[in-house]
Amino acid sequence: MAQRTARSRRLASVRALLARHPGPDAAFGRRLVLAVTATAAVAVPFALALVLVESRWPPLYRLDRTTAERLHRTALEHPAWVRVLDFFTGVVWDPVTMRLLVAALVVWLLTRRAWRLATWAAVTATSGALIGFLVKNVVERARPHLPEPVAHAPGFSFPSGHAMTAMTSCAVLLLVLLPLVPRAWRALPWALAATAVLGVGYTRVALGVHWVSDVVGGWLLGAAVVTATTLVFEAWRADTGRPRTAVSEGLEPEISSDADPEAPSRQAAVAPSDQGT
């Protein structure tokens, strides 16, 4: 009986504390918990993929080996197809090409005085590249060794740098540029991004320089990086009084207008003393 009474008192104290502090601190705490939860939820699939790769889980090993051998036979039978794949993976969807597109986007954002959005794009792309490089060198997974290889790539295999760069770069381009695309046409950039991300993955496996699990790992790790940086940007928007946006609307819809995208919203401009009256 005494234990139940003490527990009830503690719960009442917690409720009273929360009731007395419903302001910015409580809101920040809620956003922080949600951000950590969402990032962890996205990172868990990559962590699981990493564990399965490191433990050489038999079903995953068989999938990797069977897919690689089947696509390798196709590549040997169709050398012209190999040249097409090599062009797309080495020129159109090459990480250098993707990063140059993001760099051009950052420069354009700076000319628009969208400092924070430019910082978000640059940090997302850079952190994705660094994290992918670090994980690749920690895992040290060997690339596929196939008879009569049709392509070669240096370094380790997991996760695929091409797949991760495609995921982070396409996400950055989409989230920034979507507000500039008319609603009737917004399915097109989504389709182009999906084609690039999936196409990169296919070319890397078909050319025999990555396993399927390498590509999936790159996608998952790229998604985790984008989720983490996006949640930080959304927290900044909330702190400045800007409304929450849906993914389909882009990260900062205000970029489509001629107004200064860094200007505080009217809600944020109201003094705290005025908000309480």
Residues labelled as active-site residues: 162, 210
Cα separation, 70 vs 195, whole angstroms: 22
Q: In sequence order, what are the residues at sequence separation of 6 or more whose Cβ sits closer than 8 angstroms to the Cβ of residue 152?
A: 209
> What angle, 0 to 180 degrees and rounded to 10, lies between the N-to-C axes of helices 161-177 and 212-239?
30
Token pair listed for 119: 């910082």
Ramachandran quadrant class, 242 (left: phi over 0; alpha: psi -120 to 50; beta: rest):
beta
Cis peptide before 95 (omega within 30 of 0): no
List Cβ<8 Å contacts ≥24 apart for 54-63: 54/139, 60/213, 63/212, 63/213
Cα separation, 225 vs 43, whole angstroms: 9
Cα separation, 209 vs 222, whole angstroms: 19
